[in-house]
A and B are shown apart, each in its own frame.
Chain A
Amino acid sequence: MAQKSFRQALNEALHFEMGRDPRVIMMGEDLTGGAGANGVKDAWGGPFGVTRGLLDAFGPERIRDTPISEAAFIGAAAGAALTGLRPIAEIMFVDFAGVCLDQIMNQAAKFRYMFGGRAKTPLVIRATYGAGSRSGSQHTQALYPIFTHIPGLKVVIPSTPYDAKGLLLQAIRDDDPVIFLEHKMLYDTVGEVPDGAYTIPFGEARVARDGKDVLIVAIGRMVQIAEEAARKLAAEGISACIIDPRTTSPLDEDTLLEFTETIGRVVIVDEANPRCSVAADISALLADKCFDALKAPIKLVTAPHAPVPYAPNLEDAYIPSADAVAKAATSIIKR
């Protein structure tokens, strides 16, 4: 099977679905041009190269460059979704959701509920997230807890090229607003991706690794960190299971509970800030629903409660490390 990058996998999904469904359109900043490109069309393939070739294939009517105003184009995309299109809006950095939160939180997320189920909002908002790229505090946050908190939104955080393609196709075909978050540090990762189309249902966790001594729950880029930690633990004779929820809303509670029941020791790795986080949420779920199966306290390995630093050494220290995950796992096994 073909090896493809995370970026290529997303690009394939966009090409496929735009070809299949004429209602799919895209809106965003620099989708067709690019800063300093002097009018060259599709100069960068979008800010991160994800939309390359779409302008040529589908034309400027369906691939629309927007002014630098998230409030305007997210609002326009939400409205377009209500009228029957299936827009994909790209926010360059999820941090910029700050200027269009009303459109997301009070409009798109509420339409179905407030119109008595008579309105559908098939809108996908794609955005990059995450630290590690030396981009400073306003371009690196992991803001999925905010969206996960809001009923009416679905929140998708792929960790592999295979999942990126299948989850994006599912997101575009979904009739509710979906926040689709792509970690900048994952774009160049490579994995097996089928050439054909496929969808991965939401609320379906992936068991990334079988193991029996400790369960590591990890999201997005943290799945890689968990895998590195699992290899370190294996060298010490500890066998770690890894579960990637893939979507935080809906959340696959059944799989998390099933594996916690069997394994009894849990470490949750989350790149987001710790307060009111997905890690805290999953931890509360497990403590509530399978307290009696727990053999040790649930350990959370997260970023500190601080903005992402710009200094490279501090930024590196900010991101949960494989060593920290392995240490947390060891601490609840050898107690």
Chain B
Amino acid sequence: MATWHEYFLNEGQPPEWPYPIRFGQEREIDTDVLVIGGGIAGCWAAISAARQGVRVALGEKGDVARSGSGGPGCDHWCNAPANPLSRVDPDEWAVRMADHPYSNGIGVQIQCRENYDTLLEMEQMGGKIRDTEDEYVGAEGRDEKTKFMISPRYGTNPSYLPDPHVGEPGFNPPEKRNNVVIRIWGSTFKPLLKKECKRLGVQVFDRVMGTSLLNENGVQGARVVGATGLNGRTGEFLIFHAKSVILAAAGGGSLWLMSMEHGGYSNMHSRNESGDGTAMAWKAGAALTMMEKTGMTSIATGLKHKWYTGAGDASYENVPLVDANGKRIPYPIQGWEDAGAMVPGPGIQEKIREGILRGEYELPIYGDFPAMSDVERRATWNLMLTEESTTKIMVDTLKDGGCDLSRDQLMSYKFIEGQSLPQWRSTGSSGGVLVDWNLKTTVDGLYAAGSQMFSPEDHSYCAATGRYAGRKAAAYVKEVGEGKISREQIEQEKNRIYAPTKRTSGIEWKELHNGLTRAMQYFVSEFKTERLLKMGLEEIERIETEAVPKLFALDPHKLMRSVEDLSMIEHAKIIIQAMLARKASSRPLGLNRIDYPEMDPPEWNKFLTVKQENGEIMFGELPQRFYGNMKEQYEAHNKDYTGVYTPNN
């Protein structure tokens, strides 16, 4: 007996809700720095602030031990040019990383300057970052002195695309490699981050979702002086009084696609991501940017889970792909020979497809692990794939099921799985909170880190920017006094979030979520015109006026999911407003406006910002690279940076 229905059949009644019910009951917490979101960025923010000697509270929707996209693990510590094996200058590498339109030069500069220090602090906490047991002696990229395992990724440039010189004689020789990416044992990290939070006296609130930010005296745009939270097990209402708040609740949720029944939620990012932080920042009056950017969802479709086990994942380093007859197909192997290229160069995908149709390649395709040397195969399978995100369990399950990759080829679903529909979109790594060189938002007292910010990067980026935001917020709270919270704002928030508990029928959260995704698929998708986008806005406003008042939640968990829906509605509206405001098409923003077909016209080569003032939507603009000279700005803002933390046991 393990499932709910088996329990019911055995007992003749459903189990009672296992936690106390405290709908609407208030609990007040006083702190200096409140961090909302306990993923990688949030944990590092909390730890870093606490190390500055201020009081810190951390609210997390799941349990900090394994929550967030990086909770299960991470295999690549990307873009660490300050590591001792690197052959590139951190400031130069940061400039190269930011050398594309709509980049966040602030975040990548912090990543390049500080993520190696961050990694060493992870090691201080007990995280495994070196091959100390000599498991992979002889693997390419392994350094005997430091025992670091360098990954082939970004071997020549910071891009998933192949270098144009791939295949030329002497390409990517060991003595000229960048060595900017380190292979790590990231499944060890998250429980250690929680442990360090506890050791430092951070007040950790597991199962608490942030629902709103509290502005001073309840005035939108005024200093943020706290936040409200909802416990997803008890329904308790938390009121945080804080001198400063760091938002680290990541990006958008599944706004275009919800496919739980197909194969689980199957998201690449944590299933708990639902745009709460973005919605909270918006309501508090903080400016957002790049909200009009979307892209086609490639792997989080409910069908694409096999991506990880089908030789398509970023951890399949050095794995050649072969057809059903063992013939090598010209797809990148993400290895030393192509400097870690992850996606095929121009025309290659089409060439393979044509070859399949002509009979040159026979389907299906396989990852040819037996063709690899023993040590490289082990490094790919036991280190890279095992440590990557949600894949440890997949590797273990395959091993238990009898799959032996010294002998077996793993089937890939490329081509036979089909492609995502253009209507299956995602906010991806795109829009978010606008920040300055202190990672402060446009609202006083409010900071942001990780993928809460616009145009974010990966795990080590979240770690380094979280650590940075924690330091800056701690410095801020030492200079300011307590702020005054508005009781009226709290009452309004309680009315908003507890309304679904007053009903026992109507529309449940899943139906509402699905209704929202359908509206986004129809009106905010491949075909974008002013008419369609406005119809999308009307459709979502109709959902708000007709469906939201029918939302019902039978327990605190379903209430939490219902409140997530409300965040997603808000997020969707912001996206449409931003798409309407950008009267131009843009390739890097994934925005094809049929009514403004010219791609990236020079007059629109700028960031569009969006915020609320007195409830009215205000648009603004910022030039590309508004953050200035990255090296100079970083140094001007970090004269007191002391490097790697020294623990005082």
> Are A and B bound to each other?
no
**B contacts, CB < 8 Å to A:** none
